[in-house]
Amino acid sequence: MADGRHVEAFLEMLSAERGAARNTLAAYNADLADFASHARRFAQNPESATPETLASYLRGLNAAGLAARTAQRRLSALRQFFRFLAREGVRDDDPTILLTSPKTPASLPKALREEEVTRLIAGAALLPGTRGALAVAMLELLYSSGLRASELVTLPAAALRDGEILVAVRGKGGKERLVPISARAREAVLAARPAADKAPTDKTPSRWLFPSRGAAGHLTRQGMALLLKEAALAAGLDPDRVSPHVLRHSFASHLLAHGADLRSLQVLLGHADIATTQIYTKVLEERLRALVTAHHPLAQATPPRLASHPPGKG
């Protein structure tokens, strides 16, 4: 079977077994065609390529200035292709096992300023009807706890117990953690509850803190994101800058700026690895640098010229 048929069979598998979208299949096809062109320079077909050929291909992508994320996607396509070949018995090995993924530069969180968060909550309160109370409750919870969007919408109705300041949250991988909730956020949620309690039916209380008539029984992440966009517009903020993820970043950045330590922040955010939390130190570094530049008395001053003296005589 020629190499083109191997690629065709691989793409058919992605479509039939994994339900890959047409755009995904087109991208994989283009990535494999690009690698095939490289392999032929070494008199190899894609399915018979050696680890050295694959490594030289990745070096070439880097030398050509290709974005790390694009290079990662191409490596992902190659890994899946060669695993497919090994599974089908076309190859006895997987030449991509020892290849390392190109490192992508860590992107800085795009947090709102503290005064912008205040404006956002005030804007949410201006929304008509029960949407205003619901938007305020969600914003207060997101900003006071750093919850992920999926964690917030799936909070059970029993999450906020009387006298309890800690809420049990089920995060990624089903892991639970305790997150403190501010009194202000608790009050906002309780104020939004009377209308929310009747959302599923007029008789049966919902098991969710933020119920909905939808199939899931609770407000969706998309519904919450839309509500936050409306609050941003009411507050006069760019809605593209506001999302549940941005509120989570704002929570972390502002806590760190006010003296929180990384280990505590890691626990609050539910990060499995402290390295994930350390990205926020870069946000703080930029703010401190800007603070010194703007306010230090000598930051803008021209350094004095040193007087030149003739060399002394021994």
CA gyration radius, the chain = 27
Q: Catalytic annotation on 172?
A: yes
Out of 148, 186, 193, 218, the active site residue is: 148
Rounded to whole angstroms, the Cα distance separating 280 from 109 reads 7
Please confirm, yes or no, whether 38 is among the known catalytic residues. Answer: no
38, 74, 119, 271: the active-site residue: 271
Of 213, 202, 217, 203, the closest CA to residue 157 belongs to 217
Catalytic choice (110, 172, 263, 289): 172
- The Cα angle at residue 205 between residues 203 and 210, in degrees rounded to 5: 135
Do residues 209 and 189 make contact, with C-beta atoms less than 8 angstroms apart?
A: yes
Set 73, 91, 245, 287: catalytic member:
245
3-state secondary structure of 40: helix
Helices (H), ranges, the chain:
3-18, 22-40, 51-63, 68-87, 114-124, 129-145, 149-153, 183-196, 221-235, 244-257, 262-269, 274-277, 279-295
Residues involved in catalysis: 148, 172, 245, 248, 271, 280
